[in-house]
Structure 1
Amino acid sequence: MNTTSRPASPRRMPPEERERSILRGAAELATESGLEALTVRAVASRVGVTPALIAHYRPVMDELVAEVFGDLVSAEREEVLGGFEITGDLHANLLRLIETLLDSTRDDVALVWAQSWSLGARNEALGQRVRHEMDLWQSGLEDVIRRATDGAVDPEPAAWLMLALVDGMSAHSLVKWAPHDRADLARRTLAAVLG
């Protein structure tokens, strides 16, 4: 009796479907373990194919990392800003945005962001995508601020302040340095800044 078994061969898929499965597997891996986890072998293992197949579809891993990053953070941006309704005053709107972004259920995306700044220093494709996504967040926040104040507040510095607050507190929370109640600290900071 032959007791040697071979792993099952991956199911043949049309190229478009294989592309989607690779991207989906890479996104799941990045969400669970961060961008640093995206290696040819790790993605292959997640998708259930050989590393050679990943390399065939994605010969430049840096580009896959940049694409996965972009997909994850643009989905978050669309979720948060896409249908954002202005209700009440500027303070209430900004507080709602900050509380949403600092929710601990978003720590997976916070890790992706934190790693993207570091990895993007050496991965030009990722660095370019990080800059693009940051510009989109900046302009999206400026739009919310502009709509919430009817031009009474300069939206550019206010958006920069919000991004710095959210990015800093999110990065701190990854190493458990932020206060337990990030929303409370955000509320107090916002009150101090807006007077």
Structure 2
Amino acid sequence: MKTTSRAAAPRRLPPEERERSIVDAAVSLAGESGLEALTVRAVAARVGVTPALVAHYRPVMESFVAEVFTTIVAAERDEVIASYDPSVDLRTNLLRLIETLLDDSRDDVAMVWVQSWALGARNEALGARVRTEMDLWHSALEDLIARAIAEDPVLRENPLQVDPDSSAWMLLAMVDGMSAHSLVHWVPRDRADLARRTLSAVLDVPVVEPVQPAETLR
């Protein structure tokens, strides 16, 4: 008697669990291959369900990509900011933070960020999330720097020496640039040394004295 075999049907899950499995699969896929790899078919294959089921839970792929992006980068931000140690000085904290973000083990998140800037130009849902996450990173760094200034008597007596707002912007620009460069293996010989030099440039800005008017020539 001839028999035929069928592929096993996906196990039926409660809606909440199925939705979670789809999101988790998309996050995993983006971490491995970037945001560009997120398609209905690719996510469905990762979960082991039909594309129609993925589309049922996430009918607008552009919004789903934005959601996955936020999940990945927000988790990293929360982790890195939580590592701030109030028992050590500002320079040490910021250097640790920079070295953590530039570690090769985080190239997957760097890829997500780099692709988000390009894809966000045409995907407005993603572009809006990118802007929000960049603002949150800036605010978090600005808050850490301002808090350190308030707690350090030397910095507190010279508030013009370190500006939390511009310092946060410069540090983020350096990290973003170096992370993007590392994806194509174009990096300085010693990224840690460059990080220290940049940090010194940011934190050791001399106080600008008002310019005295030149004496009138007679």
The answer, yes or no, to whether TM exceeds 0.5 is: yes
Counterparts of 1:69-84 in structure 2 under 5 Å?
69-84=69-84
User: Stretches of 4+ moved more than 3 A in 1?
Assistant: 1-5, 192-195
**Paired AA for residue 178 in structure 2:** M
Question: Does residue 148 of structure 2 align to residue 162 of structure 1?
Answer: no
Change (3 A) 1:3 1:187: farther
Identity %: 71
Q: What residue is the counterpart of 1:120 in the other structure?
A: 120
Deviates more, 1:86-95 or 1:128-137: 86-95
Q: What residue is the counterpart of 2:15 in the other structure?
A: 15
Change (3 A) 1:181 1:110: same
Q: Following TM superposition, by how much is the alpha carbon of 1:109 offset from its aligned partner in structure 2, in angstroms? A: 0.4
Which runs of 5 or more structure 2 residues have no equivalent in the other structure?
Answer: 151-155, 205-218
Deviations 1:111-132 (A, max 9, x none): 0000011111111111111111
Change (3 A) 1:78 1:2: farther
**Paired AA for residue 27 in structure 2:** A
Select 1:185's aligned residue among 194, 198, 202: 194
Secondary structure class of the residue paired with 1:18? helix
Q: Higher helix share goes to which structure?
A: 1
Q: What residue is the counterpart of 1:58 in the other structure?
A: 58
Q: Distance in 1 between matches of 2:83 and 2:183?
A: 28
Q: Could you tell me whether the CA contact under 8 Å between 1:27 and 1:72 is conserved in 2?
A: yes
Change (3 A) 1:155 1:9: same
Select 2:184's aligned residue among 159, 175, 181: 175
Q: Could you tell me whether the CA contact under 8 Å between 2:167 and 2:202 is conserved in 1?
A: no
Max radius of gyration: which structure? Answer: 2
Change (3 A) 1:159 1:193: closer
Q: What residue is the counterpart of 2:67 in the other structure?
A: 67
Q: What residue is the counterpart of 2:145 in the other structure?
A: 145
Change (3 A) 1:180 1:20: farther
Q: Distance in 2 between matches of 1:179 and 1:75?
A: 28
Q: Following TM superposition, by how much is the alpha carbon of 1:89 offset from its aligned partner in structure 2, in angstroms? A: 3.0
Q: Could you tell me whether the CA contact under 8 Å between 1:86 and 1:147 is conserved in 2?
A: no
**Paired AA for residue 18 in structure 1:** R
Q: Following TM superposition, by how much is the alpha carbon of 1:3 offset from its aligned partner in structure 2, in angstroms? A: 6.7
Q: Following TM superposition, by how much is the alpha carbon of 1:181 offset from its aligned partner in structure 2, in angstroms? A: 3.3
**Paired AA for residue 142 in structure 2:** E
Q: Could you tell me whether the CA contact under 8 Å between 1:81 and 1:140 is conserved in 2?
A: yes
Scaled by the length of structure 1, the TM-score of the pair is: 0.94
**Paired AA for residue 34 in structure 1:** G
Scaled by the length of structure 2, the TM-score of the pair is: 0.84
The alignment yields a C-alpha RMSD, in angstroms, of 1.5
Q: Distance in 2 between matches of 1:32 and 1:119?
A: 17
Which runs of 5 or more structure 1 residues have no equivalent in the other structure?
Answer: none
Deviations 1:34-56 (A, max 9, x none): 00000001000000011111111
**Paired AA for residue 148 in structure 2:** A
Q: Following TM superposition, by how much is the alpha carbon of 1:2 offset from its aligned partner in structure 2, in angstroms? A: 4.5
